[in-house]
Chain A
């Protein structure tokens, strides 16, 4: 899929900042409390950043046309811009110099590059049903990450960044979920430290563990101008919700209001 990268990067460079008109994709109204208006000015919809995201995540203009936002790329109400805002948080929320080296235990140093390297291609849909995102991975199959309507309009920028990191873990480690946890469905990891299941899957924390790691590092080490009281509370809430509901075995720790962990059993 990534053989298209250079052509797409060139296409991205030609993205025209169309005249502003307010509409939301999928017929949804964007909430003002999901932090897009907080993060948008921090990266300024810079073309160089857009080009970098476009190539790393193998966006395809054909997938993001119409209400998805390709022709209105700096409008925070569109799925495309809301995805961009999350990717920029993934990149710059904890550092002004994101790296591709995964040597740091702070995932915020490398989450953006790593997610881009592991997600083969990314595309949107207005489908609902509660699903936020889906990643297909494996040999002899088309690898992709599909973002659903709730990803764009029921998640904050912080949650979206966590979801991208989560999906990248699926793609990277072939980590599937089980149905054995409080939230059930196909949303569970067996436990925090060993959460990958499925044929050919890797070891270590699974996708839910990666969500928790991202929220924990973000809440405790975010750059001061990339976080505020509400945003930190959102990260802590998301991390704690995963810890409570998304593991077969309770990890026995939670985060306090500052994001630091404490034992609960």
Chain B
């Protein structure tokens, strides 16, 4: 009996382990389009896996980016590129509720609405156009 009690106490004591977010991969970027088709969201992880959620068909398409796609994604989502893009965030994110060229982008810099036609700077616009194109490609696979 005493042995069981001691074992139970020991088990409880060693339950004091740590729990954390020690993920070996994480989300690189998520892009959502809410107005005209494709209506959905593309999420890409650092292991190059992606999932496109079709909000109208209510379905999920999964896959893995090719090496060249993933390399290109990294060019457009590295810290420098993201800072360039986020400098053009819409102050009113409802602009992404309607209108065909508005995209909601989520990254480590947060979530913001971007409108392709509203970005004059060609380099920043190229980052957004790449993400929009990737979303469209994966939506139609």
Contact with A along B70-94 (1 / 0, CB 8 A): 0000000000000000100100011
Contact B19 A135 (CB under 8 A): yes
B83 CB, min distance to chain A CBs, angstroms: 9
Contact B13 A138 (CB under 8 A): yes
B110: chain A residues within 8 A (beta carbon):
31-35, 156, 234
Q: Check B22 for interface membership: any CB of A closer than 8 A.
A: yes
B41: chain A residues within 8 A (beta carbon):
233, 236-237, 240, 257
B112: chain A residues within 8 A (beta carbon):
33, 230
Interface centre among A31, A134, A234, A237 (most CB of B within 10 A): A237
The answer, among A34, A185, A237, for a CB contact under 8 Å with B109, is A34
A175: chain B residues within 8 A (beta carbon):
19
How many contacts between A and B, using CB within 8 angstroms? 175
The answer, among B18, B39, B58, B89, for a CB contact under 8 Å with A33, is B89
A256 to B34, CA, bound (A): 10
The answer, among B39, B51, B93, for a CB contact under 8 Å with A230, is B93
Q: Check A83 for interface membership: any CB of B closer than 8 A.
A: no
Which residue from chain A places its CB closest to the CB of B61 in the assembled complex?
A264
Q: Check A92 for interface membership: any CB of B closer than 8 A.
A: no
Contact with B along A167-190 (1 / 0, CB 8 A): 100100011110000111111000
A134 to B47, CA, bound (A): 23
A131 to B21, CA, bound (A): 5
Contact with B along A27-39 (1 / 0, CB 8 A): 0000111110000
A256: chain B residues within 8 A (beta carbon):
53, 55, 58
Supposing A33-B109, A254-B60, A264-B60 touch, asked if A183 and B24 sit within 8 A by C-beta, the answer is: yes
Contact B16 A131 (CB under 8 A): no
Q: Check B69 for interface membership: any CB of A closer than 8 A.
A: no
Supposing A199-B11, A257-B34 touch, asked if A131 and B20 sit within 8 A by C-beta, the answer is: yes
Interface size on A, residues (CB 8 A): 60
Main secondary structure of the interface of B (DSSP, over half): mixed
Q: Check A130 for interface membership: any CB of B closer than 8 A.
A: yes
The answer, among B18, B49, B89, B109, for a CB contact under 8 Å with A136, is B18
Q: Check B113 for interface membership: any CB of A closer than 8 A.
A: yes
The answer, among A199, A230, A263, for a CB contact under 8 Å with B12, is A199
Which residue from chain B places its CB closest to the CB of A158 in the assembled complex?
B111
Contact B18 A240 (CB under 8 A): no
Supposing A182-B49, A200-B11 touch, asked if A134 and B104 sit within 8 A by C-beta, the answer is: no
Q: Check A154 for interface membership: any CB of B closer than 8 A.
A: yes
Other 10 A-B pairs with CB < 8 A, given A199-B15, A256-B58: A130-B26, A131-B21, A137-B16, A139-B12, A141-B16, A187-B20, A200-B11, A231-B111, A237-B106, A246-B23
21 A-B residue pairs with Cβ-Cβ distance under 8 Å, sorted by A, are A31-B110, A32-B89, A131-B21, A132-B21, A137-B16, A138-B13, A139-B15, A140-B12, A141-B13, A154-B108, A170-B19, A177-B22, A182-B47, A187-B24, A228-B93, A228-B94, A233-B41, A233-B106, A256-B53, A257-B39, A265-B60
